[in-house]
């Protein structure tokens, strides 16, 4: 199978030309982040990703993590690769210097994470969860806990986990029953079972810091009675040294469809005296604390969709050029040609490529908004950017992970029968990608979040801002007397009209007809994602047109950006235009079906 090649030029183009990344240079917090530094960081990340981390992706899938004599062992090469990752300081790239980070933009960190995730999705899950733990502790933990745990979590010397799910409590987190019994010294004894804990136990680091949702005695029912606790694998003294094993253990590892190298643990807390834990934030405010962790994690999971699509695309493209099969229709020669010569293979490759560019535009734009929302000097602008992040996060998570799985499937299809054979590696991408639409809040839940919480947040401020930006771009596209841009502008305008009408219809149903709004929430989110994808590709096309004009260049890179935008617009935006019919159909048929009479 071909090696992974980090798409450095694509990432730099998207950051510089599609997002508002240049605005970050005007912020005091990022005044040190020059273009040369950004390029150097991405180059070094690419070397580590395409080398030691990518090299153990396929072998890690075949070997998997195992549990022996109560100890969890990751596949051969993972410990060495993780040490290189930590030694390079990659775990703390986007965290502040005062907690041991490198103070780089979150958006740059997303690009670095894209490389590592494309190289080896199972490997990348460990630092993803650790970063989430850092976010939660930074925002909500006491100074004592921060001083004791953050530095080693930021460095990656210690790793973190998120413990929500229980056998009876999946998406319905309010059903959890894990108990937290207070002690006189202010600590708690934790008793309960948690499942689906990513890197819940492993041999990569000397300590694992679990963030565990549990109930204190007499807490209210549902999510209002949940608190968050820090529960280390090894209890730490005031000097940060490990002193004793906590009363917790991994009882088993799940056997999964994909991400085999990532140990997914069943964790038991308090088999004897109780696992000692420390309260993070306030009692009964655990969900608020955990959402700090989850919101960034949802963006990171969206990156998984992009990353797996990019890896699948690279392998499919390489195979399409190297595989000779059939002659070109209409050609006089009877010799077999590379399958890239066949129109349907070209369609599949371009479909993958256009969606990858669209996802990268959406994700990095969201990342830049995160940076601006956190560090901009103007409070009003900070509020706007944070509203945009809130709106775009469920779209990033849901739309990108769905595309990641679809692209992995398309990549397998390009391989034909060889794709169905594990030896090629194409099947692993399909298996690995399937989890992303499920965890960190299923994509159906993301759609409900978008429709019932984010659309009308602050009076729809973020939605109106995006719609106005798209309208401005359409005017710029219309001003170019070129067939490609006239087609793109027309399709983008019609799609925007459809989404505006869909938004109005959805908003009219939110309070008066919950089922109608909920039934079409997923379709609405998908349509919104396609519109935004078309928007970011159109921005890239416009920039590329200007570069060709200014530089009088005939660069195939820039010409392809224009054609990619046109292809995506012609193949995907009509679906947005037609989605209005389905969305306005509501839930009449859905709610009238007698599901009890389905089946045998």
Q: Which residues are catalytic?
A: 440
CB 208 within 8 A of CB 233: yes
Query: At 62, phi and psi to the nearest 5?
Result: -70, -40
Secondary element (H or E) of residue 161: strand 158-163
CB 507 within 8 A of CB 455: yes
Secondary element (H or E) of residue 232: strand 227-232
Task: Give the up-direction half-sphere exposure of residue 64: CA atoms within 13 A in the CB hemisphere.
Answer: 15
Secondary element (H or E) of residue 124: helix 121-140
CA distance linking residue 5 with residue 41, whole number of Å: 15
The 3 state secondary structure assigned to 529-562 is HHHHHHHHHHHHHHHHHHHHHHHCCCCHHHHHHH
Query: Residue 280's beta-bridge partner residues?
Result: 228
CB 561 within 8 A of CB 544: yes
| Residues near 14 by beta carbon (within 8 Å), at least 6 away in sequence | 357, 360, 361, 364, 540
Cα angle 522, 494, 451 (rounded to 5 degrees) comes to 25
- Work out the end-to-end distance of the chain between its first and last CA atoms, rounded to an integer number of angstroms: 44
Q: What token pair was written down for 431?
A: 């298996």
CB 116 within 8 A of CB 45: yes
Reduced to 3 states (helix: H, G, I; strand: E, B; else coil), residue 277 is strand
Query: Residue 189's beta-bridge partner residues?
Result: 181, 276
């Amino acid at each position: 199978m071909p090696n992974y090649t980090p798409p450095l030029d694509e990432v730099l183009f998207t950051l510089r030309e599609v997002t508002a990344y240049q605005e970050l240079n005007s912020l005091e917090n990022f005044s040190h982040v020059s273009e040369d530094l950004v390029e150097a960081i991405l180059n070094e990340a690419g070397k580590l990703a395409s080398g030691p981390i990518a090299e153990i992706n396929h072998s890690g899938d075949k070997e998997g993590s195992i549990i022996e004599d109560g100890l969890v062992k990751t596949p051969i090469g993972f410990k060495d690769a993780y040490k290189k990752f930590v030694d390079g300081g990659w775990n703390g790239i986007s965290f502040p210097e005062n907690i041991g980070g490198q103070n780089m933009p979150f958006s740059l960190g997303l690009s670095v994470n894209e490389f590592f995730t494309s190289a080896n999705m199972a490997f990348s899950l460990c630092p993803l969860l650790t970063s989430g733990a850092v976010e939660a502790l930074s925002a909500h933990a006491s100074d004592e806990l921060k001083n004791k745990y953050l530095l080693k979590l930021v460095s990656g010397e210690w790793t973190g986990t998120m413990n929500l799910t229980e056998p009876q409590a999946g998406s319905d987190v309010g059903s959890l029953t894990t108990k937290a019994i207070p002690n006189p010294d202010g600590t708690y004894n934790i008793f309960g079972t948690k499942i689906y804990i990513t890197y819940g136990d492993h041999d990569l680091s000397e300590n694992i810091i679990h963030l565990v949702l549990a109930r204190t005695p007499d807490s209210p029912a549902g999510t209002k009675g949940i608190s968050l606790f820090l529960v280390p694998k090894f209890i730490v003294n005031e000097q940060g040294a490990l002193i004793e094993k906590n009363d917790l253990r991994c009882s088993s590892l799940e056997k999964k469809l994909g991400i085999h190298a990532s140990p997914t643990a069943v964790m038991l807390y308090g088999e004897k005296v109780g696992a000692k834990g420390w309260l993070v934030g306030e009692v009964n405010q655990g969900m608020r604390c955990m959402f700090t962790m989850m919101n960034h994690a949802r963006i990171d999971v969206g990156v998984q969709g992009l990353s797996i699509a990019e890896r699948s695309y690279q392998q499919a493209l390489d195979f399409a050029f190297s595989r000779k099969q059939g002659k070109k229709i209409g050609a006089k020669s009877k010799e077999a040609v590379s399958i890239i010569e066949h129109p349907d293979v070209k369609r599949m490759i371009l479909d993958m490529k256009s969606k990858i560019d669209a996802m990268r535009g959406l994700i990095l734009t969201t990342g830049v908004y995160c940076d601006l929302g956190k560090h901009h000097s103007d409070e009003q602008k900070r509020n706007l950017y944070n509203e945009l992040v809130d709106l775009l996060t469920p779209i990033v998570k849901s739309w990108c992970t769905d595309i990641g799985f679809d692209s992995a499937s398309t990549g397998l299809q390009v391989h034909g029968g060889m794709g169905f054979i594990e030896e090629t590696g194409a099947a692993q991408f399909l298996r690995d990608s399937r989890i992303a639409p499920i965890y960190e809040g299923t994509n159906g839940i993301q759609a409900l979040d978008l429709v019932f919480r984010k659309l009308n947040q602050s009076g729809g401020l973020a939605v109106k801002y995006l719609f106005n930006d798209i309208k401005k771009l359409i005017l710029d596209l219309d001003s170019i007397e070129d067939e490609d841009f006239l087609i793109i502008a027309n399709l983008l305008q019609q799609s925007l009209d459809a989404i505006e009408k869909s938004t109005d219809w959805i908003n009219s149903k939110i309070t008066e007809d919950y089922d109608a709004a909920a039934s079409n929430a997923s379709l609405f989110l998908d349509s919104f994602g396609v519109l935004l994808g078309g928007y970011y590709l159109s921005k890239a096309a416009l920039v590329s047109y200007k570069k060709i004009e200014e530089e009088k260049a005939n660069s195939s890179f820039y010409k392809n950006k224009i054609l990619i935008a046109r292809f995506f617009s012609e193949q995907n935006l009509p679906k947005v235009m037609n989605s209005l019919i389905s969305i306005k159909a509501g839930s009449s048929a859905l709610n009238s079906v007698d599901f009890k009479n389905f089946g045998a």
